[in-house]
Amino acid sequence: MIVLSVWLLFLGGCAINAHWLARLDLARLDFLDGILIGQAYYVIIPLGVFLGEGRTAVPDLALAYHPFADLGTTGMLIAGMFLFPALRTAFPRVRRDSPDTSDPRMVHAVARLFVVTAIASFLMTGLTHGGHWQDNLDGAFANPLFLPIKYAANVARNAVFAGLLYCVATGRLSAPRALGLGLACAVLDLLTTFNRITAVYLLILAMLLLKHRPWRMVLAGAASLWSLSTVSALWPVFRGLATQQGYSAGSFARAWEVARDAQAAGPGTLDAALNGVFESSNIVVLNWIVESYGTATRPFLAFAMFARPFTLLLPGSVWADRPQNFGLSLGGDIAHLRRWRSIPRFMVRATPISAGSGRWA
């Protein structure tokens, strides 16, 4: 009965979200539209697979999620599938006849910011001379300018794809040219950070631009997801070796061959493939939070979590009990580093904050 009820609620939520996603207006996208798009990609698709499989796991951290048993987490996810469409119904989009007051120079400014900060942060890591992408961050963080530059690069690489979509919606760019520029941005980010997230942004951009051509959208989406899952299975090994012998095409080729050999020797699991494309381990981490927090040993942070940004630059020597960094605390808990404040700085930075996703604190 529980299984049937969960499936009915899930499929009902899928239908409602599909209704609103089919009615997206590229010229009037707003915050709620972004939530619906993100929920469809990062929650609905992996949750559907989890329901079909009956479970998912992150073996490295001994975490598992059973959607029909862990009903607190499943209920939260399905509730969101109904909540955000309800908010979309309650809050209408911007009217079609509302004037566009955007400054057209903003798109160019964001694009320039992305290119400049991506290259600057890459040079500051010293990867041009080789090394491991993560180990090199220790030296980069020694420069006080690295953190704000890296923050700017992370924000700009999100915004640049929104800028391209805006240019298509306003007739400033054709869809093929926007996709070409998006591909260039994704390649630049890939070669400077070895992070795959911009490939996801490019995929979402392509899906939105092909919304009125459903068959092309389905074919492009299927081909993109297949290629992303294939590359993602090889990526952890490749990324770890790509620059160890210098930043060169030859080093990349050798790392790719090793990654292919490793994949052939031991094919990856469905969980790993799904996580590589949809960051689905975040749902497993959410389940761990639902099950573990709110106890005497792990109390809810309440307002402290939201006060953290306002105390970020305040030294601990001035206020030792300032609000904790939730991501760092969570990573320490999941990795069983309960005394994370006393461990060396480089180990703290290497604590996973999203199990199995390749993201680090």
Residue pair 84/76 in contact (Cβ under 8 Å)? The answer is no
- Tell me how far apart the alpha carbons of residues 8 and 285 are, in angstroms, rounded to a whole number: 25
- Confidence (pLDDT) at 267: 63
pLDDT grade, residue 37 (50/70/90)?
very high
pLDDT grade, residue 338 (50/70/90)?
low
Residue 212: CB partners within 8 Å, gap ≥ 6?
A: none
Give the whole-number percent of the chain exceeding pLDDT 90: 38
Q: Region 306-322: what's the mean pLDDT?
A: 74
- Tell me how far apart the alpha carbons of residues 146 and 173 are, in angstroms, rounded to a whole number: 33
Average pLDDT, whole number, for the chain? 83
Q: Region 122-148: what's the mean pLDDT?
A: 83
Q: Report how far apart, in Å, the C-alpha atoms of 161 and of each of 17, 98, 208, 209, 281 are.
A: 23, 23, 11, 12, 25
- Tell me how far apart the alpha carbons of residues 178 and 156 are, in angstroms, rounded to a whole number: 16
pLDDT grade, residue 357 (50/70/90)?
very low
* Residues facing residue 288 across a β-bridge: none
Residue 45: CB partners within 8 Å, gap ≥ 6?
A: 278
Whose tokens are 């991501």? That residue is 327
What tens digit of pLDDT does each residue of 39-52 get? 999 999 999 999 99
What tens digit of pLDDT does each residue of 182-199 get? 999 999 999 998 888 898
**pTM of the full predicted structure?**
0.79
Query: And the tokens for 188?
Result: 């630049």
Which three-class secondary structure string do you get for the chain?
CHHHHHHHHHHHHHHHHHHHHHCCCHHHCCHHHHHHHHHHHHHHHHHHHHHHHCCEEEHHHCEEECCCCCHHHHHHHHHHHHHHHHHHHHCCCCCCCCCCCCCCHHHHHHHHHHHHHHHHHHHHHCHHHCCCCCCHHHHHHCCCCHHHHHHHHHHHHHHHHHHHHHHHHCCCCCHHHHHHHHHHHHHHHHHHHCCCHHHHHHHHHHHHHCCCCHHHHHHHHHHHHHHHHHHHHHHHHHHHHCCCCCCCHHHHHHHHHHHHHHHHHCCCCHHHHHHHHHCCHHHHHHHHHHHHCCCCCCCCCCHHHHHHHHHCCCCCCCCCCCCCCHHHHHHHHHCCCCCHHHCCHHHHHCCEEECCCCEEC
Residue pair 193/207 in contact (Cβ under 8 Å)? The answer is no
What tens digit of pLDDT does each residue of 61-75 get? 788 999 999 999 999
- Confidence (pLDDT) at 339: 47
- Confidence (pLDDT) at 71: 93
